[in-house]
Amino acid sequence: MTTHSLSAGALHADRIAKSFGGLKVFHDVSFTVPAGGLLGVIGPNGAGKTTMINIFSGRLGLTSGQVMLGGTRIDGRSTFEIAMMGLVRSFQHTAIFNGHSVETNLLSALRFSRRDRSVLERLSPLLDQFGLIDNWQRNAEVMPYGLQKMLGLTMALATQPNMLLLDEPAAGLEKSERANIDTYVKFAREEFGCGILLVEHDMEIIKRLCPSVIVLDGGRLIAEGPPTDVLSQPHVINAYLGGSDEEDSDVTH
Protein backbone atom coordinates (compact mmCIF):
# COMPACT_ATOMS: atom_id res chain seq x y z
CA MET A 1 0.00 0.00 0.00
CA THR A 2 2.63 2.54 -0.96
CA THR A 3 1.04 4.15 -3.98
CA HIS A 4 -1.71 6.71 -3.76
CA SER A 5 -3.60 8.55 -6.45
CA LEU A 6 -2.38 12.12 -6.82
CA SER A 7 -5.29 13.84 -5.17
CA ALA A 8 -5.51 11.29 -2.38
CA GLY A 9 -2.23 12.08 -0.66
CA ALA A 10 -1.31 15.57 -1.82
CA LEU A 11 -0.50 18.30 0.69
CA HIS A 12 -2.03 21.58 -0.34
CA ALA A 13 -1.54 24.95 1.35
CA ASP A 14 -4.22 27.39 0.26
CA ARG A 15 -3.49 31.08 0.88
CA ILE A 16 -2.17 30.44 4.33
CA ALA A 17 -1.14 33.24 6.68
CA LYS A 18 0.32 33.23 10.17
CA SER A 19 0.95 36.00 12.66
CA PHE A 20 2.08 35.92 16.26
CA GLY A 21 0.25 38.88 17.76
CA GLY A 22 1.57 41.83 15.76
CA LEU A 23 4.34 39.84 14.08
CA LYS A 24 3.26 38.75 10.62
CA VAL A 25 5.39 35.73 9.74
CA PHE A 26 3.94 35.07 6.27
CA HIS A 27 0.75 35.60 4.32
CA ASP A 28 -0.93 34.51 1.12
CA VAL A 29 1.28 31.45 0.60
CA SER A 30 -0.09 28.66 -1.61
CA PHE A 31 1.61 25.55 -2.94
CA THR A 32 1.08 21.83 -3.40
CA VAL A 33 3.26 18.82 -2.67
CA PRO A 34 1.86 16.05 -4.88
CA ALA A 35 1.44 12.58 -3.40
CA GLY A 36 4.84 10.93 -3.64
CA GLY A 37 6.33 14.20 -4.85
CA LEU A 38 9.17 16.30 -3.49
CA LEU A 39 9.12 20.04 -2.98
CA GLY A 40 12.06 22.02 -1.59
CA VAL A 41 11.56 25.07 0.62
CA ILE A 42 14.29 27.64 1.02
CA GLY A 43 14.46 31.05 2.60
CA PRO A 44 16.57 32.99 5.11
CA ASN A 45 16.36 32.38 8.84
CA GLY A 46 13.18 33.75 10.32
CA ALA A 47 11.30 33.40 7.03
CA GLY A 48 8.78 31.13 8.74
CA LYS A 49 9.79 27.70 7.44
CA THR A 50 9.66 26.00 10.83
CA THR A 51 6.46 27.85 11.65
CA MET A 52 4.93 26.43 8.48
CA ILE A 53 5.89 22.88 9.46
CA ASN A 54 4.47 23.49 12.93
CA ILE A 55 1.19 24.53 11.33
CA PHE A 56 0.99 21.56 8.94
CA SER A 57 1.75 19.15 11.76
CA GLY A 58 -0.88 20.62 14.07
CA ARG A 59 1.31 22.30 16.67
CA LEU A 60 0.22 25.80 15.68
CA GLY A 61 -3.02 27.21 14.35
CA LEU A 62 -3.39 29.23 11.17
CA THR A 63 -4.31 32.90 11.09
CA SER A 64 -6.11 32.45 7.76
CA GLY A 65 -6.25 30.11 4.80
CA GLN A 66 -6.48 26.34 4.90
CA VAL A 67 -4.34 23.22 4.64
CA MET A 68 -5.61 20.12 2.89
CA LEU A 69 -4.16 16.62 2.98
CA GLY A 70 -5.81 14.74 0.16
CA GLY A 71 -9.45 15.64 0.45
CA THR A 72 -9.33 16.42 4.16
CA ARG A 73 -8.83 19.75 5.81
CA ILE A 74 -6.16 19.33 8.48
CA ASP A 75 -5.44 22.77 9.91
CA GLY A 76 -6.69 23.04 13.48
CA ARG A 77 -6.49 19.30 14.10
CA SER A 78 -4.25 17.89 16.78
CA THR A 79 -0.73 16.68 16.06
CA PHE A 80 -1.33 13.00 16.77
CA GLU A 81 -4.47 12.99 14.64
CA ILE A 82 -2.57 14.46 11.69
CA ALA A 83 0.27 11.97 12.27
CA MET A 84 -2.22 9.11 12.17
CA MET A 85 -3.50 10.49 8.85
CA GLY A 86 0.00 9.93 7.49
CA LEU A 87 1.58 13.38 7.73
CA VAL A 88 4.68 13.27 9.93
CA ARG A 89 7.39 15.84 10.55
CA SER A 90 11.01 15.84 11.62
CA PHE A 91 12.61 18.48 13.82
CA GLN A 92 15.27 21.06 13.05
CA HIS A 93 17.10 20.22 16.26
CA THR A 94 17.62 16.65 17.35
CA ALA A 95 14.45 15.17 18.74
CA ILE A 96 14.78 11.75 20.28
CA PHE A 97 13.78 10.12 23.54
CA ASN A 98 16.79 10.90 25.71
CA GLY A 99 18.06 8.27 28.09
CA HIS A 100 16.71 5.45 25.94
CA SER A 101 18.47 3.16 23.51
CA VAL A 102 18.31 3.44 19.73
CA GLU A 103 16.15 0.33 19.73
CA THR A 104 13.68 1.72 22.26
CA ASN A 105 13.45 4.97 20.31
CA LEU A 106 12.58 3.14 17.10
CA LEU A 107 10.20 0.72 18.80
CA SER A 108 8.41 3.69 20.38
CA ALA A 109 7.93 5.23 16.94
CA LEU A 110 6.43 1.95 15.73
CA ARG A 111 4.24 1.58 18.78
CA PHE A 112 2.85 5.12 18.72
CA SER A 113 2.02 4.93 15.01
CA ARG A 114 0.64 1.38 15.46
CA ARG A 115 3.10 -0.19 13.04
CA ASP A 116 4.73 -3.55 13.54
CA ARG A 117 8.32 -4.66 13.49
CA SER A 118 8.24 -5.53 9.80
CA VAL A 119 8.71 -1.81 9.10
CA LEU A 120 12.06 -2.00 10.87
CA GLU A 121 13.09 -4.90 8.67
CA ARG A 122 12.34 -2.77 5.64
CA LEU A 123 14.33 0.11 7.14
CA SER A 124 17.30 -2.05 8.05
CA PRO A 125 19.46 -1.04 5.03
CA LEU A 126 19.10 2.59 6.13
CA LEU A 127 19.69 1.76 9.78
CA ASP A 128 22.82 -0.10 8.80
CA GLN A 129 24.17 2.64 6.56
CA PHE A 130 23.60 5.39 9.12
CA GLY A 131 25.46 3.38 11.76
CA LEU A 132 22.39 2.94 13.94
CA ILE A 133 22.61 -0.85 14.02
CA ASP A 134 26.14 -0.55 15.41
CA ASN A 135 24.72 1.57 18.21
CA TRP A 136 21.52 -0.44 18.68
CA GLN A 137 21.61 -0.73 22.48
CA ARG A 138 23.40 2.52 23.12
CA ASN A 139 21.85 5.40 25.03
CA ALA A 140 20.82 7.65 22.13
CA GLU A 141 21.42 10.76 24.22
CA VAL A 142 25.18 10.27 24.33
CA MET A 143 25.62 9.52 20.61
CA PRO A 144 27.20 12.10 18.27
CA TYR A 145 24.86 14.81 16.96
CA GLY A 146 24.80 13.38 13.44
CA LEU A 147 23.67 9.96 14.63
CA GLN A 148 20.98 11.47 16.82
CA LYS A 149 19.69 13.44 13.87
CA MET A 150 19.59 10.39 11.61
CA LEU A 151 17.80 8.49 14.37
CA GLY A 152 15.15 11.21 14.59
CA LEU A 153 14.66 11.12 10.82
CA THR A 154 14.45 7.34 10.75
CA MET A 155 11.87 7.39 13.55
CA ALA A 156 9.69 9.71 11.46
CA LEU A 157 10.00 7.28 8.54
CA ALA A 158 9.26 4.29 10.77
CA THR A 159 5.71 5.60 11.18
CA GLN A 160 5.28 4.88 7.44
CA PRO A 161 3.97 8.32 6.55
CA ASN A 162 2.45 9.31 3.22
CA MET A 163 3.86 12.78 3.57
CA LEU A 164 7.04 13.78 5.38
CA LEU A 165 7.92 17.31 6.45
CA LEU A 166 11.67 17.59 6.94
CA ASP A 167 12.93 20.64 8.80
CA GLU A 168 16.55 21.23 7.80
CA PRO A 169 17.62 17.59 8.00
CA ALA A 170 21.22 18.42 7.06
CA ALA A 171 21.64 21.23 9.59
CA GLY A 172 24.39 20.39 12.05
CA LEU A 173 25.66 17.41 10.04
CA GLU A 174 29.30 17.14 9.00
CA LYS A 175 29.85 17.60 5.26
CA SER A 176 30.71 13.90 5.05
CA GLU A 177 27.43 12.93 6.69
CA ARG A 178 25.26 14.92 4.34
CA ALA A 179 25.07 12.15 1.75
CA ASN A 180 22.95 10.33 4.32
CA ILE A 181 20.20 12.86 3.66
CA ASP A 182 20.23 12.00 -0.06
CA THR A 183 20.00 8.32 0.79
CA TYR A 184 17.20 8.96 3.24
CA VAL A 185 15.10 11.07 0.88
CA LYS A 186 15.51 8.65 -2.01
CA PHE A 187 14.72 5.69 0.20
CA ALA A 188 11.60 7.34 1.62
CA ARG A 189 10.31 8.09 -1.86
CA GLU A 190 11.25 4.86 -3.60
CA GLU A 191 10.58 2.32 -0.87
CA PHE A 192 7.73 4.01 0.98
CA GLY A 193 6.20 6.15 -1.75
CA CYS A 194 6.39 9.14 0.57
CA GLY A 195 5.73 12.70 -0.49
CA ILE A 196 8.28 15.09 1.00
CA LEU A 197 8.41 18.77 1.87
CA LEU A 198 12.10 19.46 2.30
CA VAL A 199 13.14 22.61 4.15
CA GLU A 200 16.89 22.95 3.73
CA HIS A 201 19.68 25.53 3.78
CA ASP A 202 22.21 23.37 1.98
CA MET A 203 21.73 24.44 -1.65
CA GLU A 204 23.77 21.50 -2.93
CA ILE A 205 21.27 19.10 -1.39
CA ILE A 206 18.37 21.13 -2.76
CA LYS A 207 19.88 21.09 -6.25
CA ARG A 208 20.67 17.39 -6.11
CA LEU A 209 17.29 16.25 -4.85
CA CYS A 210 14.50 18.68 -5.60
CA PRO A 211 12.84 18.92 -9.00
CA SER A 212 11.14 22.05 -7.72
CA VAL A 213 11.54 24.60 -4.90
CA ILE A 214 9.69 27.51 -3.40
CA VAL A 215 11.40 30.51 -1.82
CA LEU A 216 9.98 32.20 1.26
CA ASP A 217 11.16 35.67 2.17
CA GLY A 218 9.75 38.72 3.88
CA GLY A 219 6.52 36.92 4.61
CA ARG A 220 5.80 35.96 1.02
CA LEU A 221 6.44 33.22 -1.49
CA ILE A 222 8.82 35.08 -3.83
CA ALA A 223 9.79 32.41 -6.35
CA GLU A 224 8.89 28.92 -7.46
CA GLY A 225 10.38 26.47 -9.95
CA PRO A 226 13.38 24.23 -10.63
CA PRO A 227 16.26 25.06 -8.23
CA THR A 228 18.77 26.14 -10.87
CA ASP A 229 16.28 28.61 -12.38
CA VAL A 230 15.07 29.92 -9.07
CA LEU A 231 18.54 30.35 -7.59
CA SER A 232 19.66 32.47 -10.52
CA GLN A 233 16.82 34.97 -10.17
CA PRO A 234 18.12 38.34 -8.91
CA HIS A 235 15.52 38.83 -6.16
CA VAL A 236 16.22 35.36 -4.77
CA ILE A 237 19.94 36.06 -4.72
CA ASN A 238 19.19 39.35 -2.96
CA ALA A 239 17.09 37.64 -0.34
CA TYR A 240 20.00 35.36 0.40
CA LEU A 241 22.65 38.07 0.32
CA GLY A 242 20.52 39.98 2.81
CA GLY A 243 21.13 37.18 5.27
CA SER A 244 24.26 35.59 3.85
CA ASP A 245 25.39 34.12 7.18
CA GLU A 246 22.65 31.47 7.14
CA GLU A 247 24.63 28.58 5.89
CA ASP A 248 26.83 28.49 8.95
CA SER A 249 24.56 29.97 11.57
CA ASP A 250 21.92 27.32 11.07
CA VAL A 251 23.81 25.00 13.38
CA THR A 252 23.25 27.19 16.37
CA HIS A 253 19.97 28.74 15.32
Partner 1 sequence: MNNRVPKSLPAEIRPSLFSGHDWIALAIVCLTFVIPFTSTNPQVLSQTNLILIAATAALGVYIMQRLDLMSFAVPSFMAIGGYTVALLSMKLQLTDVFVLAAAAFLMPALCAIPLGALILRLKGVYFVLVTFVLTEIVQLLLFEAGPITGGSNGLVGMPAVKIFGMELWDNPHVLLTTCGLAFVSFIVTSVFTRWFRSEFAAIETNDVLAESLGLAAWKYKAMAFSVAAGVSGLAGFALVNMLLTAHPSSFAPMSSVNYITYTIVGGKASILGTLIGALLLVSATDYFALSGEMSPGLFGLLIIVVTMVARGGVVGVVSGLLYRLAGQSPPLKNGEQDLGVNGEKGQ
Ligand X SMILES: Nc1ncnc2c1ncn2[C@@H]1O[C@H](COP(=O)(O)OP(=O)(O)O)[C@@H](O)[C@H]1O
Q: How far apart are CA 112 and CA 108, in angstroms?
A: 6
Site string for partner 1, 112-141 (x = CB under 8 A): xxx--x--xx--xx-xxx---xxxxxxx-x
| 84 interface partner picked from ligand X, Mg ion, partner 1, none, CB below 5 to 8 A per type | partner 1
Q: Which residue of 32, 51, 66, 101 would you call a contact of partner 1, by CB under 8 A?
A: 101
| 245 interface partner picked from Mg ion, ligand X, partner 1, none, CB below 5 to 8 A per type | none
Indicate whether 148 belongs to the interface with Mg ion (CB under 5 A).
no
**Would you tell me the crossing angle of helices 118-129 and 102-112 to the nearest 10 degrees?**
140
CB-based contact 85:78 (threshold 8 Å): no
From the CB of residue 179, how many other CB atoms can be counted at a distance below 10 Å? 14
Which neighbouring-strand residues pair with 215? 42, 223
Q: How many residues bind Mg ion (CB under 5 A)?
A: 2
Site string for partner 1, 59-78 (x = CB under 8 A): x------------------x
83 CB-near residues (< 8 Å, 6+ apart): 57, 113, 159, 161
CB-based contact 89:167 (threshold 8 Å): yes
Indicate whether 249 belongs to the interface with ligand X (CB under 6 A).
no
Stretch that binds ligand X, among 49-57, 62-70, 101-109, 127-135 (CB under 6 A): 49-57
Binding interface with Mg ion (CB under 5 A): 50, 92
